[in-house]
Structure 1
Amino acid sequence: MRRGATVRDLAARTGLSIATVSRALNGQANVAEHTRQRVLEAAGRGGSRPAGGVVYLRCPYLLTDYFGLIVSSVAETAELHGLHILLNAGKAAKDSDVLLSLPDEPGIDAAILILPPEPESALENLRDRGFPFVVVDPRTPPPRDVAAVSAAHFAGARSLMTHLVELGHRRVAIIGGPREWLVNDNRLAGYVAPLAEMGLLPAPELMRFVPEPSEEHGYRAACELLDVPDRPTAVVAFNDKMAVGAARAAAERGLRIPEDLSVAGFDDIDVSRAMQPMLTTVRQPLAEMGRMAVSLLRRLLERHELDALHVELATELVVRGSTGPAPRR
């Protein structure tokens, strides 16, 4: 699109509605081909973008073993497709208003946004300006016509809690992540579902939510949970790092894992195999999320039709030694 041209500008130039222009720019199927070409010509594209291009990859978080795996996968896959990556990462990037000006940045053709902290309106603005982008692991529910890829968090959490219920656990503590993250809502719903099917709900005193899913926050939350009068028989954590923190809290209280307390996490990063006993967890396809994001973006750049804009990749329950039968009391 010509720099500074908006969907509203193109609608005025072509005599089409804003909705039609937006669908044409985003490669949606319900647009006649002659209409699509009319919009592309007005936008100064005249057809498909070239195979190569510069992709702005934004990850406003520390590149730990979670985000680092996604970023590495995006970079490696982009190179295979002839795309060049411009990386913007780290916590300092979180507070910048880069999405507002991204379509006007010279030399940037598209973007991949990992867990963007901006509100839904910012993503809608980017979409309405016809700028191709894909969201990885969206923080909030993405707009219907914005391409996004994530893991099947609900299904993964449900499989983990079903495993614990089948082992006889009924008092299961939950350490959730930031309340405003979509992933937290999905996992929480998955954790609660198997208990609800048995007519049970997690007791309020057995639930904690932390502002950042780190080992230290997991440790602090677990200390509170393990000190309640009727302590839980199992703890499930938002991620593996928090589960490690929970295991540390259990050790300080002389609790054996899994004989006295079962502990489980989510992600299956390296730390899950460094614990003793090794951690039961839900494996996320982090590298595949990066590869899928590049694939979706490439199709957007080439004006292919996207029937599935919101892609969820399957997770896998990995049972290890940190979970066992509920102790008898």
Structure 2
Amino acid sequence: MKQESAARMTIRDVAASTGLSIATVSRVLNGRDNVAAGTRERVLAAMADLGRNAPRRRAGSAAPRADNGVYVRCPYVLSDYFGLIVSAVIEALHARGMHAVVDAGESAWRHTDVLPTLVGWPQVRGAILVLPSETESELTRLRDLGFPFVIVDPQAAPPANIAAVSAANFAGARRLGAHLVELGHRRVGVLGGRPEWRVSGDRLAGYTAPLMGAGVFPSEELLRSTDDPTVEEGYRLAGELLDLPQPPTALVAFNDKMAVGALRAAAARGLRVPADLSVAGFDDIELSRVTDPALTTVRQPLNEMGRMAVSLLERMLNGGEIDALHVELATELVVRDSTGPAR
């Protein structure tokens, strides 16, 4: 699929095309509520038409730096997970002569209507959206406006014609599940993330596939999930499973932070890891290497995810062909000291 970037349009261009005032167009671009639905659609349709009919410009041309930005949206705190992805994006953009306009954390949560306005931003030429909270229809509308963007770590399966980069979550979780099965574990508890996230479903399916191959089918009793995958939630949910009449012999967590919480829950109950309980995480952030014992986990290529997103966006801006719009990068099982034979 060939995707190209349109030259920047101005508010005056849109106003002239629609016959509306500059003030009205500005209210639409800024996501104001005091605009009639028909007027909003009229402005957005005109922006799409102008974008399709405008002359094309190649990335790396002699455009001023102020007009060579990329909007980077991450509606989450830039912790050791999201921070690594966003930092890699910024560095990769800089290496290509572009700069990032970053919108992250609480402020990004408030900017719920920002995507349709990006076409009118003179300082940005494309966008990289990290785990976007927008719906499929909102993302499709941005695509239909002719604005180039790439999703990193999508919440749901992205539409076929929208570029996305993610990690091979199912494959990584399956390798971890197979590792535990080989160690003799058959009663494995899962500390999951948000059920509606695609990644949560992929990892759960990966964990349970080797167990099912060994004749053990998933038990709802051993499944927990949370909207806030933190150390505290890992401690709470692990405690629920460890207090069952027949507790699990191993726990797999949505991320390394929840796994750290599971380690603390085990210690609070006098359980030895891995002699009494095996614990594993996902992501391989720095925290996983400094726990006692060090965490077995699945390494995600977080830096490479950011770099790959920039590479795809650059090709779109250059009008290049993209044969694979949905890219899954390989994960790696990292075995450390927190997993051992089932008791």
- TM-score, normalised via structure 2 length: 0.83
Residue 292 (structure 2) pairs with residue 276 (structure 1): yes
Runs of at least 5 residues in structure 2 that lack an aligned partner in the other structure: 1-5, 18-48
Runs of at least 5 residues in structure 1 that lack an aligned partner in the other structure: 10-38
Q: How many angstroms apart in 2 are the aligned matches of 1:91 and 1:107?
A: 22
Residue 170 (structure 2) pairs with residue 154 (structure 1): yes
Q: Secondary structure at the match of 1:87?
A: strand
What is the CA distance between 1:55 and its match in structure 2?
0.1
What is the CA distance between 1:202 and its match in structure 2?
2.2
Change (3 A) 1:166 1:42: closer
Q: For each residue in 1:94-124, what CA deviation from the matched residue of structure 2 results, as whole angstroms up to 9, or x when unmatched? A: 2322112121222211000000001011110
- TM-score, normalised via structure 1 length: 0.86
Which residue in the other structure is 1:22 paired with?
none
Which residue in the other structure is 1:308 paired with?
324
Residue identity in the other structure for 1:121? S
Which ranges of 4 or more aligned residues in structure 1 deviate by more than 6 Å?
Answer: none
Which residue in the other structure is 1:84 paired with?
99
Q: Is the 8 A contact 2:131 2:151 kept in 1?
A: yes
Q: For each residue in 1:137-169, what CA deviation from the matched residue of structure 2 results, as whole angstroms up to 9, or x when unmatched? A: 001111101010010000000000000000000
Which residue in the other structure is 1:239 paired with?
255
Q: How many angstroms apart in 1 are the aligned matches of 2:122 and 2:55?
A: 15
Q: For each residue in 1:271-303, what CA deviation from the matched residue of structure 2 results, as whole angstroms up to 9, or x when unmatched? A: 101111100000000000010010000000000
What is the CA distance between 1:251 and its match in structure 2?
0.3
Q: How does 1:101-250 map to 2 (within 5 A)?
A: 101-250=117-266
Q: For each residue in 1:239-281, what CA deviation from the matched residue of structure 2 results, as whole angstroms up to 9, or x when unmatched? A: 0000000010000000000000000000000110111110000
Q: Secondary structure at the match of 1:75?
A: helix
Q: How many angstroms apart in 1 are the aligned matches of 2:128 and 2:258?
A: 27
More moved, 186-195 vs 102-111: 102-111
Identity across aligned pairs (percent)?
Answer: 60
Q: For each residue in 1:216-259, what CA deviation from the matched residue of structure 2 results, as whole angstroms up to 9, or x when unmatched? A: 11111001010000000000000000000001000000000000
Which residue in the other structure is 2:108 paired with?
93
Residue identity in the other structure for 1:256? R
Q: How many angstroms apart in 2 are the aligned matches of 1:48 and 1:80?
A: 16
Q: How many angstroms apart in 2 are the aligned matches of 1:98 and 1:40?
A: 19
Which residue in the other structure is 1:55 paired with?
70
Q: Is the 8 A contact 2:51 2:145 kept in 1?
A: no
Q: Secondary structure at the match of 2:164?
A: strand
Q: How many angstroms apart in 2 are the aligned matches of 1:40 and 1:199?
A: 59
Which residue in the other structure is 1:262 paired with?
278
Change (3 A) 1:40 1:125: closer
Number of residue equivalences: 296
